[in-house]
Structure 1
Amino acid sequence: MDASERYCFNPVLKWNPQVEAYFVSAYGAEHFALISQALTRPSCYSCIRVNTLKSATDAVIDKLRALLGEKFHGLANGSSNSRRENGRDSGDHGGAVLGSSGDTVDPLKESLDSGLVSRCQIPGLEYVVLVRGSGPHNIDYGLNPDKPLKEVIVSRKCAESVLRGAQVYVPGVMACSAYVEKGDAVAVSVAVERPVPGGGWAIDVTRGTVLQGAQT
């Protein structure tokens, strides 16, 4: 496999044939293809549940905005206000339609439009804080034919957390390139389970596998 194809984020969702046939008949082939593609991308926002016994929702929002920085907060509010000039939202939400068209108000959509960090407007969920994300972004891996890329392969569960912004910790690492040193930039790949002849699912590597690498 070419390095440019290996080190990229272009996952394909594989369904059980019977399940796929059912959904295609229900949604249509084109709509179901869009659903399958959307499911390979992380959500454009994160939800945080506030323990209102210890802190108020607004206090948590203020702390998050302070952590994220006034610059990002200002950009989010500015883009939100510009979309509201005509009383309609014309912004791009990464291709996902969160609300219905027309004059029907979608509380979740309204929440996301209110800024980078906002309180959920759905009745009964006022203790939920929404944090808007961004992407997908193109990643430059700095591929060099004369210098193999250093790589760390992680478990699927670890990779799912990475897509949500988490760091990689030792328990999630399945394999690693040789000669990786502290401070090195590495590509993070995921070991996805595959069907095995005896039944069930498994990955092709065991914990502690050393990948091919070049000494630095």
Structure 2
Amino acid sequence: MAHAAALAWRTHLPDHVRQPLLRFYEEDELERVCNALARPPAHSCVRANTVRISGEELAGRMREELERLAVREGPSEHAGVSRYGEVRVHEVIGDAVVIRPDEHDAREILPEGRELVVSRRCAEAVLRGSHIFIPGMMGCSPHTAKGDVVTVLCDVQDRFLRGASTHILSTRKLDPKRMKGFVSNHMHEVSDEKKQQFRLNNSKLSHLYGDTNRSSDASFPELPEGIVVIGKGVMQVDRRVAMSAKEGLGCIMTECIFRAPPLNGLLPGLMYVQNFPSIVVGHVLDPQPGERILDMCASPGGKTTHAAAIMQGEGSVTAIDRTQAKAAVIRENAQHLGLKNVWVLKGDSSSIPPVGGNVPLPEELEVDAVEPSGGGVGGEVKKKIQFDELFDRIILDPPCTALGLRPRLAVDIPPIEMERTPAYQRRMMHVAVGLLKTGGRLVYSTCTINPEENECNVAWALKALPLKLLRASPIVAKPGRPESDRQRKGEGKEKKEEEQKQEQKKEEKEKKEREGKQWMGKGRNNLQMIKRRTSE
């Protein structure tokens, strides 16, 4: 039986994530944040590669490309407007092109055909406009063939083994034999008790994660917990290839709960797909021609290439990340955009020697050091670099809990990461100060909503490091949470609890003193009584 999907999208936060955030957010405020996190942003954004094209020119080209892509879906419901919405240059950030869909509310999806189950990360990409690539496919209906229409489901909890044959839409149940932890070469090794418990869990129809997929027929059961419908598509490969290949396009999305344009691969070399806040970072940094710029945690290279483009090839941008694979991605993106003033280095930004005079480049960084004069991002030249106060401006976008990324259908951050990440970021800030010239500019940015990693780290840096706070420009959003908020919601709460404990201790002490006095009083009375008897 077909059904329409009724949406109630919300990101579920585990307690070890939720409780630290409640030190800074009110309950209703955090609830609104969770509701927003599960949905994609209201608009998509790309950055014009200004060494080749202006923002206005890119906007015009984008309109043409999106109109061409929209032909197969038919005309827009709004006359004179592209199916993918309005395309315009941002009014403040001139190299940012914004695509705002003509509808942002979640749409109902009427399932049809066979079913395809994708991973959570794949589903999150689809909600931003991506098609489905083979590595994200986890299971599908038996005998699914190329050209078949499929209803795309997401298992938010990522429980499926790749290659599973699924019958979720027809049975409204999950088969334990297809799930992680319940499949082995010898099924008899799985106890009957575990199988029974697993089936019992699957029979529960409440939802933590969002789409309840209600049927128009109230008697028709909902989908199992954690299974959401995200859209429909057309298979580009058959089931055998989909479940065995390691790369390639697997399914073209024809309908999605949230409308967003497929941007990857459009206008190669002329634009870079980048979230708007990340584009703002480059303008706040404000690199000048001839300066030395450092991006300390650079992969995949969005901020690196933006700084290089703003400088129009004059000066140098050094990009560092800790693995060869990440360094290769930065190098590839810089080459793709035609930027010649980028150095790509492999290394750990938390341990670059920040002070001590003429500090040579660590050995692991020497291997990938690249001189702009030697072919920019193309060559590899061993070179000793003095890293003490070398850079005019530094971008520090350190590893974070990424709680601000959208859409986020589930949060799987380990408790230890919530605890250790702020300290790790502070270590990088300390290193950055040693690399920055006196009078230089450090821009610190994250993609998380955790104030411990944002405002609290900035407050720490202003107290512990030789830095002063500058007013960011341009300003395109509301300011962050001031330190006073932390005092009120975080330290203020702890202080209040401490005062309550002290008051409780004081009351207990006074109570004991009163009891002691009463006991002493009884003792004196007894003594008096004894004295009287003695005198008598």
Q: TM-score range by the shorter chain?
A: 0.5 to 0.7
Whole-Å separation in 2 of the counterparts to 1:41 and 1:178: 31
- Asked if the contact 1:150–1:186 (Cα under 8 Å) also holds between the matched residues in 2, the reply is yes
1:35 is aligned to 33
Larger proportion of helix = 2
Q: CA deviation at 1:169?
A: 2.1
Post-superposition Cα deviations, 1:11-42, rounded to whole Å, max 9, x if no partner, equal 43221314323433433222211111011101
Of 160, 180, 192, 1:205 maps to 160
Q: CA deviation at 1:3?
A: 7.8
- Flag the structure with larger Rg: 2
Q: CA deviation at 1:126?
A: 1.6
Pair 1:129 & 2:111 matched = no
Distance 1:128 1:65, change over 3 A: same
- Whichever residue aligns with residue 95 of structure 2, its letter is Y
Whole-Å separation in 1 of the counterparts to 2:111 and 2:44: 29
Of 118, 129, 139, 1:154 maps to 118
2:247 is aligned to none
Whole-Å separation in 1 of the counterparts to 2:62 and 2:9: 31
2:131 is aligned to 167
Post-superposition Cα deviations, 1:75-122, rounded to whole Å, max 9, x if no partner, equal 48xxxxxxxxxxxxxxxxxxxxxxxxxxxxxxxxxxxxxx81111233
Whole-Å separation in 1 of the counterparts to 2:148 and 2:38: 28
1:119 is aligned to 89
1:14 is aligned to 12
Of 146, 150, 167, 1:186 maps to 150
Question: Mean alpha-carbon deviation: is it higher for 22-31 or for 130-139?
Answer: 22-31
- Other structure's SS at 2:144 match: coil
Of 66, 75, 82, 1:68 maps to 66
Whole-Å separation in 1 of the counterparts to 2:27 and 2:89: 36
Whole-Å separation in 2 of the counterparts to 1:142 and 1:16: 31
- Whichever residue aligns with residue 126 of structure 1, its letter is G
- Asked if the contact 1:65–1:73 (Cα under 8 Å) also holds between the matched residues in 2, the reply is no
Whole-Å separation in 1 of the counterparts to 2:63 and 2:146: 32
- Whichever residue aligns with residue 127 of structure 1, its letter is D
Structure 2 residue runs of 5 or longer lacking an equivalent are 68-74, 171-536
TM-score of the aligned structures, taking structure 2 as reference length: 0.27
Pair 1:138 & 2:107 matched = yes
- Other structure's SS at 2:110 match: coil
2:483 is aligned to none
Q: CA deviation at 1:142?
A: 4.3
- Other structure's SS at 2:123 match: helix
Q: CA deviation at 1:181?
A: 2.9
- Other structure's SS at 2:149 match: coil
- Asked if the contact 1:150–1:180 (Cα under 8 Å) also holds between the matched residues in 2, the reply is yes
Percent identity over paired residues: 27
Q: CA deviation at 1:139?
A: 2.2
Post-superposition Cα deviations, 1:186-209, rounded to whole Å, max 9, x if no partner, equal 11112324xxxxxxxxx3211111
Post-superposition Cα deviations, 1:53-82, rounded to whole Å, max 9, x if no partner, equal 111211111111223349779448xxxxxx
2:141 is aligned to 177
- Other structure's SS at 2:56 match: helix
TM-score of the aligned structures, taking structure 1 as reference length: 0.61
- Asked if the contact 2:117–2:139 (Cα under 8 Å) also holds between the matched residues in 1, the reply is yes
- Quick one: higher RCO (CA 8 Å, sep 6+), 1 or 2? 1
